[in-house]
Structure 1
């Protein structure tokens, strides 16, 4: 009996001791961090094609006249501004041609002054009946021919002046020099590509589509893009352009994929993968570590953006993949799901959402 009383009294004394240590004040439960992710398109039901981030506009820059390259002013990878000089041709020939045309303009102006004076003199003599009408008409024709000749040589001078300016190749837009195809001392023809410029602005992913499955793809088709620098995030995109002819060596069709969002952090030359659905709608997927089950019913923990509290969300899943599981029903792409430590969570618990690098996440739906 004494032992029973002691066993009852001992827990009571411990409770009293703990209450005394706390001075009667309730201890506030600390908000624990929770790694969260947003559902992504399931890779198990999609084909992946490697690609490279390119500029949407890639003009090939060339001289408008032929000649010998005298200077190369930029290198590959260098950022340039619009109208910045990139290369120069040997200007000697175009300068000589310009001087020759300038001399022809001076000769035509002198000739016009002579025939104008002759016409005025014959006009006065005709009024006094000292010359025939045919003689006056002849001087009139010479004057008109002199005017036409001056217009012609002035136009030719303007062409020669423009060609002198064409000896300097300038950037057509702001951007980055992507390729260089000539060296100093090389003789180039008019229109021969010298530089390829990756213009600032929109970025795209260049991929190659297989010949045997080409009919499955179409312009405007929705895809998902994953950058190698951000492997845990996929960006929505669409096929913007498809080549009508296959490459003669690889027998693949080039296609360009545009990002749907304008602020996608894609840089020139980055490697990427483009995921294209087989057929129909592709379900969302979450990491395997985000999934729990109770009495055979799978569920995930979803964070409420209003107060960062947890809510249990029942889901219907598909076949398990290596790292993810497709969610057929129960989730939206804008939901934030706890991806780790789900076995110690409870309904209504408040958490501090963080990403894989332990950075605080601002809960917001994807655009």
Structure 2
């Protein structure tokens, strides 16, 4: 009898203790994090090409005159401003040429004063009929020739003065020095490249397209870009430019891919990978870990962007891949799908979406 009483009393006391600990109030459910991804084009229907982030504008800077480089004022990687001096040529020759032209201007001015005075004197003598008309015309022609000569040497002096200024190479716009092709002491010709400037502004990805598949690509074709520093995140882009001829060494065609989304965290020189889908309708793919099935019917958990709740979404899938499976029906490219722990989820459960680096994902609410 005592044993029976104890068996009844102990559970009751435990129940009372648990009720006291919880104060009789239900425990609030916690919002658990959920790894989410967006469907990507199926790998077997997408080609990828390695590339490098470049500036859209990359002018080669060169001196407009030839000479010997006497100073180099910047290094590769330096940020420069418009009209900032970058390098200088030995100014001795251009200075001598400028002095010579200045002397010619002075001589032409002295000659003009002389022929003007001669012309004026003959004009007075002609009025008094002390010289013939032909003598006056000769003096007049000498005066006009002196005027033309002065204009000529002044123009040549302006050219020489400009060339003296061309001895200093300046940045054409704001940017970063991406490449150096000349050193101090090197003799360069007019127009020979000295620096390559990566202008501030838009960034692009430079890739090489294979010769055997070149006809599949076109300017304006939509692509996706993944940066090495942002694995798993793809940015929309398009092919902006394609080389008309293949590189003689690699036999590939250079192409430039422009980002179509603003504020992409792409820095000069970063590695990138460009994904180009095949022509026609391309199936989306999700990781294998995102797929569940019940009674042979596959489904995935889609996060509602309005309130971050889960919705069980039936899908039609294709052949399984190594790490992903193509989804033929049921998903859109903008959906966010839970990619891990799907076996413990339930309909309507609220979650906290995170990416593979455990960073919060902001879902755009649908209108």
The Cα RMSD (Å) is: 2.3
Could you tell me which residue of structure 2 aligns to residue 280 of structure 1?
280
Partner of 1:87: helix, strand, or coil? strand
Query: For residues 252 and 292 of structure 1, do their structure 2 counterparts lie closer, same or farther at Cα, with a shift above 3 Å needed?
Result: same
Conservation of the 8 A alpha-carbon contact between 1:35 and 1:338:
yes
Structure 1 residue 327, shift from structure 2 partner: 2.0
1:164 pairs with 2:164 = yes
Could you tell me which residue of structure 2 aligns to residue 87 of structure 1?
87
Could you tell me which residue of structure 2 aligns to residue 294 of structure 1?
294
Structure 1 residues 181-190 or 319-328, which shifts more?
319-328
Conservation of the 8 A alpha-carbon contact between 1:334 and 1:365:
no
Which whole-Å deviations, capped at 9, do the CAs of 1:247-271 have from their partners, x for residues lacking one? Answer: 1121111111111113221111111
Which whole-Å deviations, capped at 9, do the CAs of 1:131-150 have from their partners, x for residues lacking one? Answer: 22111111111111111111
Between the aligned partners of 1:242 and 1:306, the Cα distance in structure 2 is 41
Structure 1 residues 9-18 or 72-81, which shifts more?
9-18
Structure 1 residue 325, shift from structure 2 partner: 2.1
Conservation of the 8 A alpha-carbon contact between 1:334 and 1:364:
no
Conservation of the 8 A alpha-carbon contact between 2:225 and 2:275:
yes
Between the aligned partners of 1:309 and 1:272, the Cα distance in structure 2 is 34
Could you tell me which residue of structure 2 aligns to residue 311 of structure 1?
311
Residue pairs, 1:1-367, within 5 angstroms: 18-364=18-364
Number of aligned positions between the proteins: 365
Query: For residues 337 and 4 of structure 1, do their structure 2 counterparts lie closer, same or farther at Cα, with a shift above 3 Å needed?
Result: farther
Structure 1 residue 187, shift from structure 2 partner: 0.8
Conservation of the 8 A alpha-carbon contact between 1:35 and 1:339:
yes
Structure 1 residue 9, shift from structure 2 partner: 9.4
Structure 1 residue 12, shift from structure 2 partner: 7.4
Conservation of the 8 A alpha-carbon contact between 2:94 and 2:163:
yes
Between the aligned partners of 1:281 and 1:65, the Cα distance in structure 2 is 56
Partner of 1:201: helix, strand, or coil? coil
Structure 1 residues 160-169 or 38-47, which shifts more?
38-47
Which whole-Å deviations, capped at 9, do the CAs of 1:161-182 have from their partners, x for residues lacking one? Answer: 0100111111111111111111
Between the aligned partners of 2:142 and 2:286, the Cα distance in structure 1 is 89
Structure 1 residue 17, shift from structure 2 partner: 5.2
Partner of 1:229: helix, strand, or coil? coil
Which whole-Å deviations, capped at 9, do the CAs of 1:307-353 have from their partners, x for residues lacking one? Answer: 22111111222222222222222222222221211111111111122
Partner of 1:157: helix, strand, or coil? helix
Between the aligned partners of 2:154 and 2:103, the Cα distance in structure 1 is 10
Q: TM-score, normalised by structure 2?
A: 0.93
List gaps (5 residues or longer) in structure 1: none
Conservation of the 8 A alpha-carbon contact between 1:335 and 1:365:
no
Structure 1 residues 284-293 or 150-159, which shifts more?
284-293
Between the aligned partners of 2:45 and 2:7, the Cα distance in structure 1 is 62
